[in-house]
Amino acid sequence: MPPEPPAAPVAVETIGGIVFDLDGTLIDSRRDIASAVNGMRAERDLAPLTVNEVSGMVGEGARMLVRRALPPGAGKDEIKEALASYLAHYAEVCLKLTRPYPGIAAMLATLAPTYALAVLSNKGEALSRRILQGLGLDRYLREVVGGDTLPTRKPNPGGLFLLADRLAVPAPRLLLVGDTWIDAETAQAAGAPFALTLWGEAHAEAVGNAPAPAAAGEAAIAISPRWRLAQPSDLPAALGLSENGEDAETGDRG
């Protein structure tokens, strides 16, 4: 289905850069993340979790993922040790089954000649860069900011403001593209437009599928994305670009 028209006209010409979430937006990393979580749990004689169970824990960084993957009441030291275990396991398997969603490379190739592209993830920066490089997606990106680049992470807008500085594009001119309420709230906090992706795993009626505190979930419902994107090619189309990177109306290359 085509992108839904926004409630108000979108000034496409004001968009100077596009920032993508990573997991669930550009890449399907669920199986490798679940493998690493279960490696950590096995060391603690805990039963393995399903991929869907682990997917519901993802979104707010590795520490929160590990905390959710441990039994209730885990102490600070236990969480710290489990986090180190998870990161070690994940470093071994992060490119084993992880793949870009179909159409992602073509989308990025179409957008890159016209827009400054970047990634803003709650995954660690080094791991994010390693995965992007391993999948050949780094060639399209100018910047990568991870969950440990700054003391804060999404939905705090600090990472988006940092990218605005690095890309020399004001935050209100950066389109943030993501699949969860976390991305939606990050964009709103920075005064940036937001596009919701609908490929990947199933979405709730609100924005995304990561478990959110009640207040955050209610806030996400109130956030109306500029576009709802059913497939990666919808984004270039919404911005007036054809799949080969040419202007859809004039045929001029941006």
Q: Catalytic amino acids?
A: 21
Beta-carbon count within 10 A of 77 CB: 8
The total of other beta-carbon atoms located within 10 Å of residue 245's CB is: 16
Extract the tokens encoding 42.
């096995």
Distance between CA atoms of residues 119 and 132, nearest Å: 10
227 SS3 class: strand
Residue 129 CB neighbours (<10 A): 17
* Tokens 């669920």, residue located: 30
Angular region, 24: left φ>0, alpha ψ -120 to 50, beta rest: left
Tokens found for residue 245: 């990177």
200's torsion region: left (phi>0), alpha (psi -120 to 50) or beta? Answer: left
C-alpha distances out from residue 93 to 61, 72, 90, Å: 17, 26, 5
What are 72's two structure tokens?
């209730």
Concatenating the DSSP letter of every residue in 12-25 gives: GGG--EEEE-SBTT
